Amino acid sequence: MDSSTASTPLRLTALAHGGGCGCKLAPSVLQQLLAEQPVVGPFARLLVGTETGDDAAVWQLDDGTCVIATTDFFMPMVDDPFDFGRIAATNALSDVYAMGGKPIMALAILGTPIDKMPTEMVREILKGGSAICAEAGIPIAGGHSIDSPEPIYGLAVIGTCPASSIRRNSGAQAGDALILTKALGVGIYSATFKKGALPLDAYAELIASTTLLNSVGAELAGHAHVHAVTDVTGFGILGHALEMARGSNKQISLRACDIALFTRCAELAEQGFVTGASHRNWASYGMSVLLPDALPIWQRHILTDPQTSGGLLVSCSADRAEELLQDIVAAGYAAARIIGAVEEGKPGLRVAA
C-alpha cells in the first residue's frame, strides 16, 4: 500500500493545481511584479523591508525591541489534512526563526472550496496548524477564511526579538562557512507522492522533516559569530543561497556532495520525479550559478528542488562552524551539515561536485 491511498478517501492534492512552496512564483517573476511600485517612506524604523528578498519584515520599536511580521500560505502537497495544516504552519513560523526572532502569535489564513471539502477535513487542517502553534508556544489569535476554488492554508505570524538578534540574509561575511540544518528532497518526494509512488517510510520522512520547527534560529541569533540566516524554501538551495550571496555582495561556493538528502531523494530524482517549480527556478536564476561540467541533470533538479518548510541556511565564522554544527545536531537537527563557504568576489554561486 502506498501513502497516497492511506489517509483520506478524497485526495486533498487532487483539489489543487500545485502544492506547498512549489506554488510560489519564480523569483524573477516576483521581482517583475514588485518592480516600479510607488515608494513610500523611507521609514527609519523599518529595519528590514523588501530590498533583499529577506524572510520577514522587521520594525524597531522605541525601546529597541523588534517586531517581526511574515505571512506564508499555499495549497496542499499531501492528502492528510492534519499533516497539511502542520506543514503549512511550520513553514510560516520558519520565517520568524530565520530572522533570529521568536513568534508571539499567529493568524490563520484559510481558503476552502466549501462545496467540495467536507467540514471535518477543513477542521483537521486547522487542528494541524493549531498543534504546531501549540508546540511553538503561541496562540492562533484570529484569521481570515474565504470560499476559494482550491484549498489554501497558512499563517500570518508576529514575532519579536532585540535589535541585536536580527539576522538578515544579507549579513554573510568572507571567511564564513555555511551550514544547512535539514536534508533536501521535499519537492522530489512531493512530486512522487502526487503520482502515488511514494513508499510509506519516505512519506514519514517527509512529514518528520517538514513539521520540524526551525526554532533553533532564535538560539543561533544569540551568537555573534552567526552572521546571516535564511530559510531554504520554494527557490531551492541554489535560489536561497544566491539571495544570500547577492544581498551580502559575496561569492558563495557550495559542495553538492556535503548536502544531506532524504534517503530516497537521489534515486527518485534519477527516475525523473521532479516538480515544475524546480524547472522554473533554474530558468529564473540559472544564469548566475556555475555548476560542475558533468553534473547530471537529476542532480541539478535536487539543487533547485523547492523545499516546503525546509531548513535554515546559516552563515557563521568558519572557525566556529564545527562547534555550532554540534549544537545544532544536539538540538534535534540530525541532518545538519556544513555545505559551503563565503568568499570575496562577484556576487554569485559556484557549486562543486
Ligand X SMILES: Nc1ncnc2c1ncn2[C@@H]1O[C@H](COP(=O)(O)OP(=O)(O)OP(=O)(O)O)[C@@H](O)[C@H]1O
Q: Name the residues that contact ligand X, by CB under 6 A.
A: 21, 30, 34, 50, 53-55, 70, 72, 95, 231, 233-234
The verdict on 243 binding Mg ion (CB under 5 A) reads no
Shortest gap between Cβ of 90 and Mg ion (angstroms)? 12
What residues between 93 and 112 interact with Mg ion by CB under 5 A? 95
- In this structure, the strands spanning 337-343 and 226-231 are unpaired
Nearest to 148 by CA among 14, 12, 15, 24: 15
52 in a labelled binding site: yes
Binders of Mg ion among residues 29 to 68 (CB under 5 A) are 55
Provide the grid cell at 242. 544566491
Q: Is-catalytic flag, 21?
A: yes
Which residues fall within 8 angstroms of residue 144, CB to CB, at 6 or more apart?
Answer: 107, 108, 109, 110
Give the residue closest to Mg ion by C-beta.
Answer: 55
Q: Which CB sits closer to ligand X, 50 or 164?
A: 50
How far is Cα 316 from Cα 220, in angstroms, rounded to an integer? 10
Task: Phi first, then psi: give them for residue 112, nearest 5 degrees.
Answer: -140, 135
Least distance (Å) between residue 95 CB and ligand X: 5
Q: Which of 124, 231, 243, 305 binds Mg ion (CB under 5 A)?
A: 231
Is 83 among the annotated ligand-binding positions? no
Closer to Mg ion at the Cβ: 12 or 252?
252
Rounded Cα distance between 286 and 284, Å, is 6
**Phi, psi at residue 279, to the nearest 5°?**
-65, -45
Distance in Å, CB of 167 to ligand X, minimum: 13
DSSP string of 143-178, one letter each residue = EEEEE-SS-EEEEEEEEEEEGGG---TT---TTEEE
Q: Is 24 annotated as a binding residue?
A: yes
Measuring CA to CA, how many Å separate 105 from each of 92, 230, 243, 343? 12, 21, 28, 38
Q: Is there a binding annotation on residue 65?
A: no
Report 160-219 residues binding Mg ion (CB under 5 A): none
Residues within the annotated binding site for ATP? 24, 52-54, 72, 95, 143-145
Please give the positions annotated as active site. 21
- Summarize as ranges the residues that interact with Mg ion (CB under 5 A): 55, 95, 231
